[in-house]
Amino acid sequence: MQQYVLIIENGEGNLELIAKLVRRAGLTPVGATSLTEGKARFSQNMPETFLCAIVAYSLPDAPKGESIDFTVESFIPTIATTESLDSAIRDKVLERDVVDYIPKENSQNYDYLNRLISRLEKNKSTGVVVVSTNRVLRSKTVSLLQRHNFIAFECLTATDAMQCLSEYKNVRLVITDNTLPDMTGTHFVASLRKAFSKEQLAIMGVAGGKGMLMSAHFIKSGANDFLRVPYCHEEFLCRVMQNVEYIESVEEIRRVANTDYLTGLPNRRHFFYMVTVQHQNLSEDHALALIDLDFFKSINDTHGHDAGDIVLKAMAALIEFYFPDEIISRFGGEEFCIYMPSTPLKEACERLDDFRKVVEAEIIQLPKSDIKVTCSIGVSGAHTQRVDKLLSLADKQLYAAKNSGRNQVKCEPPDVPQQEQASLL
């Protein structure tokens, strides 16, 4: 569904500036310079197509925030803007159920607005757990999170929160106070840190103003951040956004480090990590395959390296589609690897030969022509606990497939000599 952003701004200059930020976020601006025009533009589209609204507090036909009231009452997440940082106007804006308040006084505020727009879409799939027995605090916190499109989970106890974290893998932040029925907040944070590192899960402690050292207790117990209540609306949301973005940044760094830049498949290093971590004891009914595209150099020489990249991407897509539950990787160049941890050798070879036929029949569209490719596959099902041994045996079979005319599957028998097994285990 198309994602629009309704912009109601006082002047064409402000409207165009914010529209550029919206386009940069990959969204479509729907602009107006008055409340009347904004209502008309809004009525021309389905309400569900609007991600949010960015609305000026003062407009020629709405001088006291009436435009904000309109978008809030239309159930559009609303970001309010003002010409300057005025405390009286700020208080009037924050009395309303707005997402945030942006004074247009410097370029950094516009940068923050750009981040905020992007976050409203990301937050739809981001979970935050709020743990507190204080109903007022819990309700206020959840309400603010929901304005930002977060998926908010309410928990009364540390045990409930741990259960929630085990069920929902999209949680990036836990917000907890210190007075929980089953343990203190600091003990809860310490127990969370045994299961989740600071790079996996952000934790924010909250507490009243009586305990001046509570912030230090939370941080020393493993919290990423601390906020004293009653808290400021804007500070709370800034801290939430900062903590969630930190977790996402670490995830992105890991993703880039573990992913082949061209095909999007896991890279060689991540392949070894996944095999050794997920399968510390390798099954006897397993198989490892090396797949190599035939005559790939001639594709590059004839059609160019861009065409070669298209072929590699197509091959990666086929591997992902036909082996969704296996550990796959691009090993480098035109070589790919598949580890099947619970597949007997005979079954693996049959599946791989079916895949070879699929590759042979596939038509790959290039900018100037269509081509077909073939692949050679070497497979090993040796009874060994060493992945490098499986790779070595599969590589020998791949070499045999190449020497036997290509476009075929060669399989290594599962049994290896007893003295070799003893040296490998």
Could you report the per-residue pLDDT of 346-363, keeping only the tens digit for each? 999 999 999 999 999 999
pLDDT value of residue 214: 86
CA dist 420 and 120 (Å) reads 58
Asked if pLDDT for residue 172 goes beyond 60, the answer is yes
Question: Up-side HSE of residue 186: CA atoms within 13 Å toward CB?
Answer: 10
Amino acid at 337: C
Percent of the chain at pLDDT exceeding 90: 74
Residue 282 CA to its chain's centroid (Å)? 30
CB–CB of 258/136 below 8 Å? no
CA dist 193 and 222 (Å) reads 6
pLDDT value of residue 416: 46
Asked if pLDDT for residue 211 goes beyond 60, the answer is no
CB–CB of 176/161 below 8 Å? yes
Helix, strand or coil for residue 7?
A: strand
CA dist 19 and 17 (Å) reads 5
Confidence of residue 231 (pLDDT cuts 50, 70, 90): confident
Helix, strand or coil for residue 102?
A: strand
Task: Give the per-residue SS3 of 297-356.
Answer: HHHHHHHCHHHHHHHHHHHHHHHHHHCCCCEEEEEECCEEEEEECCCCHHHHHHHHHHHH
Confidence of residue 385 (pLDDT cuts 50, 70, 90): confident
CB–CB of 98/79 below 8 Å? yes
Q: Give every strand in the sheet of 287-293, ordered side by side.
A: 327-332, 335-340, 287-293, 375-380, 409-412
pLDDT value of residue 331: 94
CA dist 224 and 234 (Å) reads 18
Exposed e or buried b for every residue in 87-113, given b needs 16+ CB within 10 A? eebbebbeebbbbbbbbbeeeeebeeb
Asked if pLDDT for residue 418 goes beyond 70, the answer is no
CA dist 187 and 162 (Å) reads 13
306, burial (CB in 10 Å: exposed 0-12, middle 13-18, buried 19+): exposed
Asked if pLDDT for residue 417 goes beyond 70, the answer is no
- Residue 55's closest CA among 87, 30, 20? 30
CA dist 164 and 129 (Å) reads 8
pLDDT value of residue 278: 73
pTM of the model: 0.74
pLDDT tens per residue across span 73-127: 999 999 999 987 788 898 899 899 999 988 887 778 888 888 899 899 899 999 9
Extract the tokens encoding 339: 């580890």
The mean-pLDDT minimum among 21-30, 97-106, 289-298, 416-425 falls in 416-425
CA dist 390 and 140 (Å) reads 57
In DSSP terms, which residues pair with 28 in a beta bridge?
4
CB–CB of 117/149 below 8 Å? no
- Residue 206's closest CA among 231, 243, 172, 233? 231
- Residue 55's closest CA among 119, 99, 3? 99
Extract the tokens encoding 141: 């916190």
In DSSP terms, which residues pair with 184 in a beta bridge?
179
Asked if pLDDT for residue 423 goes beyond 50, the answer is no
pLDDT value of residue 425: 33
pLDDT tens per residue across span 55-73: 999 999 999 999 999 999 9
Q: What is the mean pLDDT of the chain?
A: 91
Exposed e or buried b for every residue in 190-200, given b needs 16+ CB within 10 A? eebbeeeeeee
Percent of the chain at pLDDT exceeding 70: 95
